[in-house]
Each structure stands twice: as C-alpha cells, then as structure tokens.
Amino acid sequence: MSEVQARAVSELLRIAPVIDELGERFVAAGEQIALVGGPVRDAMLGRLQNDLDFTTSARPEVTERLLKGWADAIWDIGRDFGTIGCRRGDWQIEITTYRSETYDPASRKPDVSYGDSLAGDLGRRDFTVNAMAVALPGREFEDPYGGIVDLAHQVLRTPGRPEDSFSDDPLRMMRAARFASQLGFTVAPEVKQAMTEMADRITIISAERVRDELVKLVCSPRPRAGLLLLVETGLAEHVLPELPALALERDEHHRHKDVYEHTLTVLEQSIDLEDRLPEGGPDFVSRFAALMHDVGKPRTRKFQGDGTVTFHHHDVVGAKITRKRMQALKFSNDETADVSTLVELHLRFHGYGDGQWTDSAVRRYVRDAGPLLSRLHILTRADCTTRNQRKADRLRRTYDELEERIARLSEQEELASIRPDLDGNQIMEILGIPAGREVGEAYKHLLELRLDNGPMSYEDAKTALLEWSAAR
C-alpha cells in the first residue's frame, strides 16, 4: 500500500461513523452517494478537516428528507445549486446532487442541470485531484481521471480539456492559482496555456466570487506562487491590475529591483511577522495592505534632472487606488477602510528619522493608527527589503526604539484610548453653552493639547479651555 493510500485509509477510518451511516441511509432509499472532491484529496494528504462534501443521485428534496432525524441541523441555502447542508456533531456536511454547470458567454451565473452518474459528476470537476471519490457505503475508491497520480506528482490538471473546463466555469482559472498557493502544486503546461488564452473570460464572473477566491489565495501558505501565476497568465490584468502595473516601476532606493518584486517580498516578510498579531495569522488585512502598499507609485513617478526617481505622495494616492479596487471587488466597508488606512500610513515611520520625534508625534502616530497599530508595525517592518545589512539593522533598531517609546507612553497615558481631559458635558458646563458646533471645536482643541502636552489636571484643562474661548 502506498503512503498516500495509507494516509487516506487512516483518515477515512476516522470519519467512518459519519460516512457509513450516510451511505446506508441513501442506499436504503435507492440512491447513490459518495464522498467527493476536496475531502478525498485532503484525506490522501493527511490534512482532512471537519468539512465533508458528498455527491448523490438524490434530488435536494430527497436529500433533505433523508437527513431529517439524523442531522443535528439542516440548511438549504444552496438548494438552487442542488446542495443541502447539515451538521452532525463536529462535522459540517454538504450534499450536492450529481450535476453539470455551464456559463452562457454573457452570463455571470451558472446554469445548473442535474446529472445521472458519479462518473459524469466527476468529469465536470475542476481538477483531477478533486475528481476522486469514495463510493458509499462500501468505500470503493473512484478515480477515473488519474487524480491520485497527479496528487503524487503535485500537479494540477483538468479532467478533460482545460479550455472546456474553464469555459464551463472561468473562476476555475483563479482556483488553479489558489491551489498552487495552498497546496504548493505546479500547474500543468496545457492548463497554464489555457488560462493565458482565456484570461478575459474571468470578466463574466461576479465580483463577489472573484473576491472570495482572491482572499483564499492571499491567505494561503504561499501566496507568491498564485500571484505570480495570475500575473504571468494575464488574469491579474482583469482582477487586480494594480499588481502587474508595479512591474514597470523601479524602487527609489534600489533601482535595480522593480516594485513588483519588492511588493511580493514585503508580502512574504509580512506573513513571517504575523505572530506579532494578537490573534496570529493568516490575516487578510495585513497581507493585502502589504500587497497594495506601493500601488500609488506608477501614478506618482517623476524623473529628476540628476537621474533619480521620486514617488512623492504615493502613500495617499495608493490609499485612494486601494479603496477603489476593494470597492469594485465588493469588500466590506470595514476591510476597505482598514487596508486603505494602512496603505496611507505605511510611510509615516520614515519621518521618525533618528528617533527625534517628540512625545506629541508618537501620540499622533498611535492615534492615527488606532486599532491598526499592530498591523502597521508589521507593514512598516516588512517594507524594509534593502540588501544593505547596516541600513536594515539601523531601521530595525530605530523601529524597536519607536515601539519601546509607544509602550512607555502607553503605560503612562493609555495611548490607545486618548481623549481630551474634559468631556463634552464638562465643556458645556464650563463655557455655559448648549450642545452644538462650538462644543465639537472645543473638544478638538483640547484633544490637540492632550496630544502635544500629555495629560492635564482638571484645573489646567479648564484654564486652557477658558483661554481658548476668550481668544475666539
């Protein structure tokens, strides 16, 4: 028995109670059912999770009836696609009727039609490593397209012609890039060629589906591999055009190294620093900020008379570009704001120089970063890709010093929740004014004093407020 098969048997034994019971219920009702796709692949890789996918001859209404009394909970959010979901103990299960789906050239949604056999269902799947099944309840292994061989060689192929597969569902081209990143597999030459020739076909896919694949890719263990594939095949021109645009630029400090390569290195270094985050990684916001931090450079590049190149304000311009791209991909407002803010702030540290910032400047740095401070620390550190070891060491020491100052001030002043020394009610009482615009202006003035001078006593803050009011 091969090592791959041994791992699969071990994993299947672990889930035997679930798959055997399901198999018996469906077969008793005259239906066929098989564990299929990702779970079979992952069982062979020894990394099976608690999400199980099945395919069946049963129509959704029959599946739902057979699950009643067995599953702890049932949902039918995927009914239009032939899928019924359920939970049994710790297992999350999806059971989908044999199907085939194709896209009309002008449509963004697949036309779903039910199939009549397991072999036919496997033939419509994206890649051979996902076109393997275990028929139940007998646990017969089905592999009509040589998925186990491709799994052993770590290569991604399609069950049939890749052109037919990608025509049926163009999102599979992005999925190839995602699997390259997730699994560390290479893409077969004919698959890569089809992706290149059909790249513009991705434009018929909804922004939400493209976004979800992009998130999975970016949050994978090796996103560089998938991103390179997107750029090389031209897919990135349609889903994230800001990335290939960076290949045309040169970094202002290391003109031998383009900004595209620099960006991928920053992303990898950002991933290496994720253990600094309170919840660890993978962290999409941190990673996507690293990927987008220099996208403002193409629009801000200027050649100087002495041959140098500048990218003034590329942080601000990049934040606007990032916000527009994330809105086009239908990201949430919160994620869009977080990533855009990090892009806008990524150069702020470089004003720190040799540690000459005042306490006021440090407070503003913390205030502007807000809850993103930990991520900003990561992005700023990851953005150092210089090969000059002395310079790299100096930058690291300087940032260490800044973090130490932030920690000291935080202990003294609770920096993360900086507020003026008087609240709105106290301002209204001292000045004898009602709620309104003047209260907001007074609050803002006191906040600036707080940032400049640190905490003040009530009496000192009251005096400062009265002086400000009198001066107005």
Distances (CA, A) of 215 to 39, 289, 318: 21, 12, 20
Quick check: 88 and 47 in contact, CB under 8 A?
no
Q: What band does 256 get if pLDDT is binned at 50, 70 and 90?
A: very low
For the stretch 365-400, pLDDT in tens is 888 898 999 999 999 999 988 888 888 888 888 888
Query: What residue spans define the domains of the chain?
Result: 3-152, 154-240, 243-417, 424-471
Q: What band does 447 get if pLDDT is binned at 50, 70 and 90?
A: confident
The lowest-confidence range among 185-194, 279-288, 398-407, 410-419 is 410-419
Residue holding tokens 């779903």?
112
Quick check: 451 and 363 in contact, CB under 8 A?
yes
Q: What band does 415 get if pLDDT is binned at 50, 70 and 90?
A: low
Q: What is the pLDDT of residue 394?
A: 84
Which residues fall within 8 angstroms of residue 288, CB to CB, at 6 or more apart? 218, 339
The kind and range of the H/E element at 400 are helix 389-413
Q: What band does 109 get if pLDDT is binned at 50, 70 and 90?
A: low
Quick check: 126 and 86 in contact, CB under 8 A?
no
Average pLDDT rounded to a whole number, residues 435-457: 85
239 or 104, greater pLDDT? 239
Average pLDDT rounded to a whole number, residues 204-211: 96
The 3-state DSSP class for residue 468 equals helix
**Secondary structure, 3-state, 142-171:** ECCCCHHHHHHHCEECCCCCHHHHHHHCCH
Does residue 11 carry a pLDDT above 70?
yes
- State how far the Cα of 226 lies from the Cα of 449, in Å rounded to an integer: 49
Q: What band does 249 get if pLDDT is binned at 50, 70 and 90?
A: very low
Quick check: 322 and 298 in contact, CB under 8 A?
no
Which CATH class name applies to 3-152? alpha beta
**Best CATH choice for the domain 154-240 from the list 1.10.110.30, 1.10.1060.10, 3.30.70.100, 3.40.50.1000:** 1.10.110.30
